[in-house]
Amino acid sequence: MASVEQADVQGKPWAELVTNPSQPVVDAPLTTEWKAGRQEYLIILSLAIVVVMASLDSSIFLPVLPTIAESLHGDATSTFWVGTAYLLPCAAFQPFMSSLSDIYGRRSILLLALSFFTLGSIIGAVAQNIATLLAGRALQGIGGGGIIPLSMIVMTDIFPLRQRPKYASLIQLSVAFGTILGPVVGGIFAQYAEGHGGWRWVFYINFPFCAAAYPMLFFYLNLKRKGDDIPHVDWIGAALFIASVLSFLIGISWGGVQYSWSSFQTLLPLCLGIAGLVGTIVYERYGASSPFLRLSILRNPSSIAVYIGSVVQGILLFGALYYISVYLQAVQALSPTITGVGILPVSAMMMPSSVIVAILISKLGTYRWALWIGWAITVTATGLLILFYVNTSTGEWVGIMLVLGLGHGVLFNSLLFAAQAVSPPKDVAYAASLYTFMRTVGFAIGVVVGSTVFQNMMSKALQNYGLPTELAANAEGYISTLKTLPASAQKDLILKAYAQGLQGVFEVLTGIGGLGIIATVFIPHRSMDRPLESDHTLNSTPKAE
């Protein structure tokens, strides 16, 4: 087990220095001797296993959606929901799962989340229709809603802030690895596993991860809650919040895809979601005896700026990955497998840059330099995606994706630790979970915003070329048909319409990226030299929580 010896900062405990988190704090070194032990490394390994699995599931379906639609006789709308059915509950359940872990313990809730994920994988693997498949995906999403935030929360329980980046970067690395590897693995299953389970392998692949993670988490994640003052479960607040977030995200998902933005079907869930979120805040502030939302953290302008950046990064990353896949399959005519391989340049830069930045943040004790560099590179690279066209060479699109991966790699850890540094110690675990929640919301919004823009821009291009605009409504489903068409002037025009629709998506994403740069202006420097403070302490021997 790790050992730590800590001294006060300039003769005062840290708690006295951060009573007002909006004010600058003293930037003085903390005399700390801290080393991770075998148990900490085994915990990191077990968390990395489940995080890779949950992240893989967020993107592995991209190349297999046409195969699923054909196999289960689904239309374009139901196929779209295969991906969304995971992301929506994954986002909505994160704050509540985090709150439950404060009451019942980190290990218990992580194992519960893993059980939801496993059950969802089983249901999805045996599904004979789209409805059953969506039910399995929703259960996986609930599981992911516990796995993703709790992996970050556990890092705040066992590692001091100054040393935390270099260890937590391994978890962030797992997120990036799973997200980027998903399309590759999905493409392989779609192309080569036919006759051997086919697309169902996107569910089968989860079982070895689950089998490895269960015993490791049970035996090594021995965090015990301090004190006897355990809060009650805020069931009413949680139900209000989850229902409101789901309603809002469903409205966002329907807008411009299934229904127009001005339609009753889109506006009703959007308005109900917004009203519900307002009602949740009022209830948490005045009605809940043990509120599960930490409203105090949302009164800190610095924290709000970080969370805006988190949402924006989620929109840019997932929106770019999703529509780069569409570009490679439709315009470049690559197979699902090669499309997955084609996205690897993003991973090739994202993963090492994320680790290097985390080590530098730990060494230097500051993070603002990484925020500025990360946003500058990310927004520039997103803007360069606008250059993707029918005649773009392989070298050009690979080079642009390398730059994109570099930018997101720098942002991954700088945003995470900015969120923790600007929060008082008692709120650090919640700050980490709120960061993952906001980023996941960004993932869900990124695909939906892109879909609306893509359909509208492609429809206009098709109209200008004198081609049927109905192609835009089922653009992704039409890709397999497009590849079978012989070379002709009409096919060239369709390819140009695809490219112009995608250029519109990347233009909008670039504009949204500007919000991340603006938000960074309001993120101040805070000292990272803090002693480790957590209500959950690590036991060196396996004991029940």
pLDDT digits (tens, 9 = 90+) for 132-180: 999 999 999 999 999 989 998 998 888 888 888 878 888 878 887 887 7
pLDDT digits (tens, 9 = 90+) for 421-475: 898 888 888 888 888 899 888 988 888 888 888 888 999 999 999 998 888 877 8
What is the Cα 463 distance to its own chain's centre? 36
388-391-393-397 Cα dihedral, nearest 10 degrees: 10
- The per-residue DSSP string of 388-422 comes to --TT--HHHHHHHHHHHHHHHHHHHHHHHHHHHHT
Other beta carbons within 10 Å of 163: 18
**Rounded average pLDDT over 193-200:** 69
Q: Are 65 and 186 in contact (CB under 8 A)?
A: no
User: What are the angstrom distances between the C-alpha of 60 and each of 55, 57, 187, 259, 337?
Assistant: 9, 5, 8, 26, 11
pLDDT (0 to 100) of residue 18: 40
What is the Cα 404 distance to its own chain's centre? 16
pTM of the model: 0.82
Give the pair of three-digit tokens for residue 149. 């935030």
User: In three state form, how does the secondary structure of 135-157 look?
Assistant: HHHHHHHHHHHHHHHHHHHHHHH
The answer to whether residue 492 scores a pLDDT higher than 60 is yes
> In the chain, pLDDT over 70 holds for what percent of residues?
90
Distance CA 415, CA 7 (A): 27
pLDDT (0 to 100) of residue 27: 41
Query: Which stretch of 93-102, 208-217, 426-435, 493-502 has the lowest confidence by average pLDDT?
Result: 426-435
Q: Provide the mean pLDDT of the chain.
A: 84
- Domain positions in the chain are 34-223+292-534, 234-291
What residue type is assigned to position 458 of the chain?
M
Distance CA 349, CA 372 (A): 18
pLDDT digits (tens, 9 = 90+) for 18-36: 434 444 443 444 434 567 7
Distance CA 223, CA 242 (A): 27
Fold assignment, 34-223+292-534: Growth Hormone; Chain: A; (1.20.1250)
pLDDT (0 to 100) of residue 227: 65
